[in-house]
Amino acid sequence: MDRETLKKRIEETMQSSSEEAKQFRERLKYNKINSTTIDLDEKMKEIVRAILKGEMTAKEASDKYHIDRETIRRKINQQIAEDDSLIQEYVAYVNKNGRDYSRINFTGLIVHMIKRNFSQSEMAKAYAIPTRTISREIEKLKKSSDPKENELYEIAKRYADKKMKRAEISEDKLQNVQKQLDEMFGDIPIIEVDAKTKDEIEIERLEKFCEQVDIYQAQGMQTQEIAEKMKSSISTIRRNRLKLAELKKKEEINEKIEGR
């Protein structure tokens, strides 16, 4: 249950039942006296760093510290917006583990880049993300069905052109761009902490494929028949089973390393 829903239900309960309201206040008083909860302002940065480094999952942090997932997501992106080093730490972790950028919201990162007065090359150097990756993500904005992303593409291109020509960008112009981006995107997330990794997406695809193969086998079909039915080949079926086993083994190792 998210915080706002909980708050609404508490208010409804307090209004509908004086006895329950009394018990609730007594419980709050007891919790305050006996609480062992953490000071979020003191602890959250440590939690965020642990999550971004892969030392802890968002779910583990939620369970351990009794913080709802939405608060964790909001705090991660709030602290990232205030501290570039957190992005650098996350990207360093990603690069060490196979450059899977699937949890990075590149639209948010491009907004962040422009607001910080970074060129594409400066951003690539600061965050160790290949320049071609950043350029490719900017080009995707041009083809997006979202008009705001189309506009972001135009802003990014104009901004990049000025940077390449070493044209001065005045403080007033930068503030105007920042204001425009704030109005368009608000507090857009940079890291999607609950997004699936490429490996997780691939595991789901392979599991569906192999489950269908198993269903056909249970019906008494031979491998060649199954391959024809699935418009595939015997070698593809074999490779997909091996690939699924490899990815699951890799996931198990990562879970042990991260203590999940």
CA gap 141, 147 in Å, rounded: 9
pLDDT of residue 35: 44
Which positions of the chain have pLDDT values less than 50?
34-38, 257-260
What HEC string does the chain produce? CCHHHHHHHHHHHHHHCHHHHHHHHHHHHHHHHHCCCCCHHHHHHHHHHHHHCCCCCHHHHHHHHCCCHHHHHHHHHHHHHHCHHHHHHHHHHHHHCCCCCCCECHHHHHHHHHHCCCCHHHHHHHHCCCHHHHHHHHHHHHHCCCHHHHHHHHHHHHHHHHHHCCCCCCHHHHHHHHHHHHHHHCCCCCECCCCCCHHHHHHHHHHHHHHHHHHHHHCCCCHHHHHHHCCCCHHHHHHHHHHHHHHHHHHHHHHHHHCC
Interior CA angle at 34 toward 65 and 63, to 5°?
15
- Residue pair 156/185 in contact (Cβ under 8 Å)? The answer is no
pLDDT of res. 37: 46
pLDDT tens digits along 38-64: 455 668 888 888 887 778 877 888 888
pLDDT at 46: 86
The mean pLDDT of the chain is: 80
Which pLDDT tens digit goes with each residue over 86-99?
888 778 777 776 77
Q: What is the pLDDT of residue 241?
A: 92
CA distance 246 to 239: 10
The reported pLDDT for the residue numbered 149 is: 93
